[in-house]
Structures are given as C-alpha cells and as structure tokens.
Amino acid sequence: MAFRSTVKTGPAVQTETCHWQAEKLRLIEKIHLSNPQPKVVLLESGTGNDIVIIDERHGLAECHKLWLTLETVRHKLRGNALKPGMRVVQRAGGSVAATMAYVCARLGIPFIAIVPKTLTVSAKERIEVHGGEVIVAENDADGHDLEASYIIRPGYTVIDPYSAEVRALPTRHSPGDRMLKASSIAIGRMPSLVVTTVGTGTTANTVRLAASDRQLGIDIVGVDVAGGVLTDYVGLNLHGRNDKPHCLEGASPGYVPPSFIRTSVDRFQEVHTEAAIAVCQLFREEFNFEMGPTSGMAVFGALTELQQMKGRRDSQLVATFCYDHGARYADTIFDAVFLRQQGLEIGPWREKLETLIADLK
C-alpha cells in the first residue's frame, strides 16, 4: 500500500500538480477518441465531378470547436498555465463558449464565460447546463476589460480561442485530419478541392496542414456570407455591396482573428444569406438532411465550384463540411415569419439553386 503525505511541501505540491495535469491530458485524448467518426455523404453529379460532405453533425460538439477547445486546454496544461484549483475564463459566445463549458465539465475544471449582451437566452443556457458561469458584458469594451482583469488575477487562466497561438496547435484529430481520413476510408478518393467557411480559420488552417503532412496538393476555397469578414479583409465584393447586416449565426462581420492564416486559403467566395438558407431548406425537404446556415453556405460554395468544373475531362472531388444540425434553427431559417421579419426572400435563390443542381446532372 502506497503512502503519500498530505503536508503541502514544495516538491509534494509540484508532484501533485504533475499528476493532476497528466490526468487531464489523458482525459483530453480520451474525449478526442470518443468523438464519433464523421459520416460521409457523396453527391454524384453524373459527370465524374462529385461533392463529398463530411457530416460532423452527430459528434460530441461541433468538430472544429471541440478540437480547438481540447487543444487550447492541452496547450495551457503543457505550458503549466493551468493548475489544480484554477478556473478557465473565456470571452466568447454561442457554441464556442458552450463547447468550452462541456470540455471543462468533462475535465472537472470550473469555467467562466464572458458573453456579449446580445447572446440569446438559449445560448446562455447551453453554457450553464454544463456548469459554466455566465458573465454578461455590456459591450465589446466591457468584455475586453473583464477579460483583462482575469488575466492578472491569480487562480484564473484565460483561453483565447482566436489567438495567434492557435496556429501552432498539432493537427491530429483536427477537422482537416478527420476529413482526409474519412474521405479516404469511405470512398477511396482524396479531394482535389476543399470548400470551407472562413470563420476563425480553424478548418482552413487544419486542412492545409493535414494535406501538407500527407504531401497532397489540395486547393482551398474559403467562403463567407456577403457582408461578413471577407468584405473588409480582402475587399471581396462579388455580389455587390450588401449594407443590410446578415443574420447567419456563426458568421461575424468585420472581424478577422489572429488565428486565421491568409495563406491557408487559395481563393475566396462570397455567398448570399438567402442562398445559404435556400440550401438548408432544399436539403431538408428533398434529402431529409438538416444543416445549419453556415453549412448551407459551404455547400452552396461547393456547388458553385463544381459548376465551374463542368466540362473537364479529369474527375474532380470537391469536399466540404457540415458541422451543425438544422434542428437548432427551427425558429429562424426554417420559420417563414422570421424570414419575413428579416426581409429575406428565399424563393428566387431556391430557383437559382434548383437550376444549378439540375445543370450539374
């Protein structure tokens, strides 16, 4: 029988910390491995140029956010910035904070989320259901000040999911790694082109790194909603200036985080809000496949890219991701009243989409 003194001497505390951190690192790997492998949906065009959708809707959380959360916590543990008794603090909202709350609950680490005043009640509840504490910031400046106050307070570690540190995270278990494995195993083909939403750059970055590790030449197209980050970042304005704010949850206008690597993306494409929603509605009605609006945006981008490949003799495979389930958006993008209140006319874009799909057959 082993005996360990409970007297808190220096070396004993250090040993206890090391054991605690090692336990958390093992749990992180266990969570990674318990995350279900993605399903693969193949959309065959009949021309040899096809689309593969990496379906991550049934994972423990949205795949890119789960990977990012687990790896940023792992980074803090290995850097000795997260020790027993400390609390994790994050300034974020929606599914990012909810994922951190889930991970911290699994690891047994207290979590505090600093969220914007505009965050919905349901989004706050998703954080609190996992035991996370929610602190509401009145505005961006208030949120920044709150975050800064925790940085200097002992007993807290602040995790910024959008910092430049994210660029150096290992790609094992990442969205890019999972996509290439799933594509190879399920259909025996690797994509020549990947279409992904820009967001924080997490998916595009990991696809680029995972492809590089495998010495694969894959082009990456980054899509974003018209009026989103691309307008300011790369001056892209393919569809004309859209002064009306978009209403796609998960796409934030005017903010490009340090985590985004510009060279990860070969070219950019803007997608109208209405086009993304049209994809979500059509896939639910025609294929019983429910997806959220940012996934709809990515699928529309993939269809557009496939159309441009029409006539090519060599077969091409375009890959994209579906992260979020459409059930979350029953009272928004699938609700006619909400769409009318937002001034969104989906009908014309539904017709364009059906024409596009018919043209690809």
The predicted structure's pLDDT at residue 233:
59
Residue 245: which region, alpha, beta or left (left: phi > 0; alpha: psi -120 to 50)? beta
Contacts of 226 (CB under 8 A, 6+ apart): 238, 239, 242, 246, 270, 271, 272, 273
Distances, alpha carbon 67 to alpha carbons 4, 40, 211, in Å: 36, 19, 17
Q: To which residue do tokens 């009306």 refer?
A: 244
The predicted structure's pLDDT at residue 8:
46
Over residues 86-139, the pLDDT tens digits come to 999 999 888 899 999 999 999 999 999 999 988 888 889 999 999 999 999 998
Distance (Å, whole) CA 176 – CA 182: 10
Instruction: Kindly state the DSSP code that residue 222 receives in the 8-state scheme.
Output: E
How many other C-beta atoms can be found within 10 angstroms of the C-beta atom of residue 59?
18
Position 292, amino acid: G
Distance (Å, whole) CA 49 – CA 318: 8
Residue-level length of the chain = 361
Confirm if 22 and 84 have CB atoms less than 8 A apart.
no
Strand partners, 268: 222
Residue 334: which region, alpha, beta or left (left: phi > 0; alpha: psi -120 to 50)? alpha
Report CA torsion sign: 293, 211, 92, 145. negative
Backbone angles phi, psi at 139, to 5 degrees: -160, 180
**Would you state the structure tokens that stand for residue 55, as one six-digit string?**
């379906």
Residue 131: which region, alpha, beta or left (left: phi > 0; alpha: psi -120 to 50)? left
The predicted structure's pLDDT at residue 337:
94
Over residues 155-185, the pLDDT tens digits come to 999 999 888 888 889 889 999 999 999 999 9
The predicted structure's pLDDT at residue 232:
56
Strand partners, 89: 112, 158
Confirm if 204 and 222 have CB atoms less than 8 A apart.
yes
Residue 311: which region, alpha, beta or left (left: phi > 0; alpha: psi -120 to 50)? left
Q: What is the largest CA-CA distance in the chain?
A: 75
Distance (Å, whole) CA 4 – CA 2: 7
**Would you state the structure tokens that stand for residue 337, as one six-digit string?**
């009243």
Q: To which residue do tokens 């990947």 refer?
A: 194
The predicted structure's pLDDT at residue 316:
87
| pLDDT tens digit at each of 361 positions of the chain | 333 334 444 566 678 889 999 999 999 999 999 999 999 999 888 777 899 999 999 999 888 899 999 999 999 999 999 999 999 999 988 889 999 999 999 999 999 999 998 888 888 999 999 999 999 999 889 999 999 999 999 999 999 988 888 888 988 999 999 999 999 998 888 999 999 988 778 899 999 999 999 999 999 999 988 776 665 555 554 444 444 444 555 545 456 778 888 889 999 898 999 999 999 999 999 999 999 999 999 999 999 999 888 776 678 899 999 998 898 889 889 999 999 998 999 999 999 999 998 888 7
Distance (Å, whole) CA 2 – CA 174: 39
| Full set of structural domains in the chain with CATH | 36-60+169-360 (3.40.50.1100), 64-167 (3.40.50.1100)
Distance (Å, whole) CA 279 – CA 125: 28
Strand ranges, E, within the chain: 39-43, 50-55, 87-91, 111-116, 133-137, 156-158, 193-197, 219-225, 267-271, 317-322
Strand partners, 137: 116
Kindly report the pTM of this predicted structure: 0.86
**Would you state the structure tokens that stand for residue 125, as one six-digit string?**
């509840």
DSSP 289-327: --B-HHHHHHHHHHHHHHHHHTT-SS--EEEEEE-SBGG
The radius of gyration of the chain's CA atoms, rounded to the nearest angstrom, is 22
